[in-house]
Amino acid sequence: MSKRIDVNDLNVYYGDFLAVEGVNMVIEARSVTALIGPSGCGKSTFLRTLNRMHEVIPKAYVTGKAVMDGQDLYGPGVDPVEVRRQVGMVFQRPNPFPTMSIADNVLAGVRLNNRRISRSDATDLVERSLTGANLWNEVKDRLDRPGSSLSGGQQQRLCIARAIAVEPQVLLMDEPCSALDPISTLAIEDLIAELKNNYTIVIVTHNMQQAARVSDRTGFFNIAGTGKPGHLIEMDDTTTMFSTPSVKATEDYISGRFG
Amino acid sequence: MSVTTPPVPVRTTRRLPRWAPIPVLVASLLLAAGIQFLGDGPTIAGVFFIGAILFGIIMTVTSRVVEGERYAKDRLATTLVTFAFLLALIPLVSLLWIVIRDGVKRFSWEFLTTDMTGIYGQMVEGGAFHAIIGTVYVTGIASIIAIPLGIFTAIYLVEYGRGPLSRGITVLVDVMTGIPSIVAGLFAFTLFLVIVGPAYKSALIGGIALAVLMTPVVVRSVEEMLRLVPNELREASYALGVPKWLTIVKVVLRTAIAGITTGVMIAIARVIGETAPLLLTVGIATAVNWDAFDGRIATLPVFVYRQYAQGGASADRAWAAALTLIIIVMLLNLVARLVSRYFSPKGAR
Ligand SMILES: Nc1ncnc2c1ncn2[C@@H]1O[C@H](COP(=O)(O)OP(=O)(O)OP(=O)(O)O)[C@@H](O)[C@H]1O
Ligand SMILES: [Mg+2]
């Protein structure tokens, strides 16, 4: 039940500023796609176009196509809310709801949408999602404590639990491990490996080893200079990208000889 | 790279003992009294002011000598801040003191439950029941109009408003905040004069006058509160496929509810004591008027004004009514505090 996304000649703007230009990319179903590149090259910006989160920023817009299951996400009559229900997202910074308990944060996708759920289903969903995000053992005794009482890394895993609780088709992750310790990072990577059986996953990371470990395909973004738009330089199977990339810039970046 | 400066050990400073300010304060006050004996004799205000200045000087100089420059500045700043705080407290405490002292003379259950029917001259009976009912009516009508209007306007400005329309509304709200209350009274008065005719008086007119005053206050404070809600929370909600309106209701308003309650309470407190527009619109009455839509109605501020103007036994009623008004405002405040305590975001802090 996961889906493939075909991105076609996508340009992403912030008002007059063209942030990312001319992206063509295939995101395969049931696989992990990693996006790498230097800071400010537009990885987050591009990622946010895949669930139409980009346009919540005033004056921001997108041209081009992103086709999921034969349906252009930016086609006329497509409801961004519907898109976001299918394409979930984990943000760079953890953002649990401060007014909700840990359990309610996990159930947020259900509760905020006014959907009814029986008490036992809710308990199951909370346990399943938290176990999936490798957080269950740490919080099972204090599910009714506020979500913001957790540590930064725990909050990030809570946000992952919250995202997988609504069972999206595609899961976008923007540097999900940048606030985590190696153990939680490993847990998230295991989780990603497990999730890819059911979901399509796109992950942005600054960690080359992580990209090499978890992803099936890797895309390299780069930027010519400040004020210039970011471009997708190269995209290929991860093994190829990390052994014999076809563009010099990719090789330089991956081997740390950047700039 | 080599280290060029030799490492400096962490220095320890000689400090004044913790209790040092107390004898200095006593000495300053005594000195201030002494100085004044040379003149016309000490007064409370004089001892307080001169003593505070002396305390600031002595404390700073001693600290400069014993503890060094940075601590001396700290002492000086602490003295200034504390002094300013005490100064600000004086009018507040003395006002409360006077209202309570003069108010308790006539304040009683009977005062709260009887009206002024058949009371004249120097009779000491009678009470403010009719005025309490009137104040509840008028403020209630104002709140029913102004709170939703203000909250919805603030939501529009923060969540939807873009471009000239929202800028225009912001400017208008700012202008409205500065409207003198008598103008709001005249506005409501004229409005009903045009619509209903000259003979009509009711709590409704007063409510509308107060709503005009209250709305901009509600808009402003709710707007501030909504802007404090981090954008990340809205995005987190959107990313879960929650539509915008549900995000506003269940995330933005829910997160800001504590601040919104406080803002609304401040707005109510702002209008509950308004006198001028009510004198103009709802008039004066001596008996309870249960009909909010017809007839004159008494209100607490107007009651205070009238009774005080009459003097004698009536002045005591004015104080008691003023006390009643303050108690009502304090009760509202208490409720607001409980609500914010209950709803405010809970965290590790
Ligand atoms: N809200 C915004 N408004 C205007 N410009 C923005 C906004 N957000 C990002 N940008 C610009 O878009 C470009 C790409 O930013 P983006 O956040 O996508 O970079 P990134 O690749 O995710 O970087 P990092 O690795 O540091 O997270 C940058 O030049 C940035 O200044
Ligand atoms: Mg980023």
Backbone angles phi, psi at B203, to 5 degrees: -60, -30
With a pLDDT cut of 70, the percent of chain A lying above it is: 98
Name the pLDDT band for B349 (thresholds 50, 70, 90). very low
Q: Which long-range contacts (CB under 8 A, 24 or more apart) does B332-336 make?
A: B332/B265, B332/B268, B332/B269, B332/B272, B333/B265, B333/B269, B335/B265, B336/B261, B336/B262, B336/B264, B336/B265
B236 in contact with A at a CB cutoff of 8 Å?
A: yes
- pLDDT exceeds 60 at position B259: yes
Cβ of B241 within 8 Å of Cβ of A82? The answer is: yes
Q: How far is A248 from chain B (nearest CA, A)?
A: 34
Q: Which of A91, A96, A112 sits opposite B235 (nearest CB)?
A: A91
Mean of the per-residue pLDDT values for chain A? Answer: 91
**pTM of the predicted protein model:** 0.87
With contact defined as beta carbons under 8 Å apart, do A221 and A233 qualify? yes
Would you state the pLDDT for residue A225?
A: 85
Name the pLDDT band for B347 (thresholds 50, 70, 90). low
With contact defined as beta carbons under 8 Å apart, do A40 and A222 qualify? no
With a pLDDT cut of 90, the percent of chain B lying above it is: 64
pLDDT in tens, B76-99: 999 999 999 999 999 999 999 999
Q: Which of A88, A109, A149 sits opposite B347 (nearest CB)?
A: A149
Q: What is the mean pLDDT of residues B20-38?
A: 89
A140 in contact with B at a CB cutoff of 8 Å?
A: no
Q: Residue A139: inside a domain, yes or no?
A: no
Ligand 1: which atom is nearest the Cα of residue A15? 4
Cβ of B235 within 8 Å of Cβ of A53? The answer is: yes
Q: What is the mean pLDDT of residues A106-124?
A: 92
Name the pLDDT band for B3 (thresholds 50, 70, 90). low
CATH domain B129-343 topology: MetI-like fold (1.10.3720)
User: What CATH number is associated with residue A179?
Assistant: 3.40.50.300
**Parallel/antiparallel/unpaired status of strands A60-68 and A5-14:** antiparallel
Q: What is the mean pLDDT of residues B109-114?
A: 90
- pLDDT exceeds 80 at position B24: yes
Q: How far apart are CA B18 and CA B22, in angstroms?
A: 9
Q: What is the mean pLDDT of residues B248-257?
A: 94
Q: Residue A152: inside a domain, yes or no?
A: no
Would you state the pLDDT for residue B348?
A: 42
pLDDT in tens, B269-311: 989 999 999 998 888 888 888 988 888 899 999 999 999 998 8
Q: What is the mean pLDDT of residues A188-193?
A: 87
- pLDDT exceeds 70 at position B1: no
Would you state the pLDDT for residue A22?
A: 93
- pLDDT exceeds 50 at position A7: yes
Beta strands of A16-174 (E only): which ranges? 17-27, 32-36, 60-68, 71-72, 87-90, 170-174
- pLDDT exceeds 60 at position A246: yes
B341 in contact with A at a CB cutoff of 8 Å?
A: no
Q: Residue A101: inside a domain, yes or no?
A: no
Q: Which residues of B touch A49 (CB under 8 A)?
A: none
Q: Residue A259: inside a domain, yes or no?
A: no
Could you tell me the residue range of the domain that residue A87 belongs to?
Answer: 5-95+169-254
Q: Residue A132: inside a domain, yes or no?
A: no
Q: Listing from the earlier edge strand, what are the strands of the sheet with A170-174?
A: A71-72, A60-68, A5-14, A17-27, A230-237, A217-223, A32-36, A200-204, A170-174, A87-90
Name the pLDDT band for A179 (thresholds 50, 70, 90). confident
Q: Which residues of B touch A88 (CB under 8 A)?
A: 239-240
Beta strands of chain A (E only): which ranges? 5-14, 17-27, 32-36, 60-68, 71-72, 87-90, 170-174, 200-204, 217-223, 230-237
B346 in contact with A at a CB cutoff of 8 Å?
A: yes
- pLDDT exceeds 80 at position B5: no
Backbone angles phi, psi at A19, to 5 degrees: -90, -40
- pLDDT exceeds 70 at position B73: yes
pLDDT in tens, B139-153: 999 999 999 999 999
Would you state the pLDDT for residue A258?
A: 58
Strand, coil or helix: A66: strand
Would you state the pLDDT for residue A90?
A: 93
Domain count, chain A: 1
Q: How far apart are CA B60 and CA A88, in angstroms?
A: 61
Q: Residue A109: inside a domain, yes or no?
A: no
Ligand 1 contact, A44 CB (< 6 A): yes
- pLDDT exceeds 90 at position A187: no
Would you state the pLDDT for residue B129?
A: 93
Q: What is the mean pLDDT of residues A73-82?
A: 92
pLDDT in tens, A121-146: 999 999 999 988 888 999 999 999 99
Q: Map out the domains of chain B as residue ranges.
A: 21-102, 129-343
pLDDT in tens, B174-204: 999 999 999 999 999 999 999 988 888 899 9
Ligand 1: which atom is nearest the Cα of residue A46? 18
Ligand 1 contact, A114 CB (< 6 A): no
Does residue A179 or residue B161 have the better pLDDT? Answer: B161
Q: Residue A231: inside a domain, yes or no?
A: yes
Would you state the pLDDT for residue A185?
A: 86
Mean of the per-residue pLDDT values for chain B? Answer: 90
pLDDT in tens, B193-246: 999 888 888 999 999 999 999 999 999 999 999 999 999 999 999 999 999 999
Q: Residue A16: inside a domain, yes or no?
A: yes
